[in-house]
Amino acid sequence: MQRYSQAKVAPDGTRAMLGLERYLHECGLEESLLHLIKLRASQINGCAYCLDMYWKDLKSIGEPDHRLYELDAWEETSFYTDRERAALAWTDALTKVAETHVPDDVYNEVREQFSEKSSLIPPWPLPQSMRGTD
């Protein structure tokens, strides 16, 4: 069965999601970090379409291969900055919110690394909800 086009069926919802995407690009997060967050959430969610899309986005802006291949084990590598590590921990906690309940130490680390405007962005809805918007 062919999937429906979200943009055709729910154009207002699609516009709202695209507005959120626009905000994410204007809130102070670096483009590479934003794509890294989306790729990590996609790994957790198991979205093959999103993994492919965000991997290609990161490669197109020059992200080194080793950082992409090791993203699933980000906690065990030294490839990521403190800011990236805080964002990845935040992504993991929000994507697995039913399991983690977003621990205070993760929240506090995010608050140290990001402004209030950029730290309150939940990365988890984007990979799943943005696919199929064409």
Q: What is the pLDDT of residue 84?
A: 95
Query: Which run of H or of E encompasses 28?
Result: none
Enter the pTM of the model. Answer: 0.80
Instruction: Pick the closest to residue 126 from 50, 52, 59 (CA basis).
Output: 50
| pLDDT tens-digit series, residues 58-88 | 999 999 999 999 999 999 999 999 999 999 9
Q: What is the mean pLDDT of residues 27-42?
A: 91
Q: How confident is the model at residue 132 (pLDDT cuts 50, 70, 90)?
A: very low
CB neighbour list of residue 97: distance below 8 Å, 6 or more residues apart: 124
Q: For residue range 95-127, what is the model confidence (pLDDT) as tens digits?
A: 888 898 889 999 888 888 888 777 655 554 444
CATH fit for domain 32-127, picks 2.60.120.10, 1.20.1290.10, 3.40.50.300, 2.60.200.30? 1.20.1290.10
User: How many angstroms separate the most distant Cα atoms in the chain?
Assistant: 47
Of 3-12, 35-44, 45-54, the poorest mean pLDDT is in 3-12
Rounded to the nearest integer, the mean pLDDT of the chain is 85
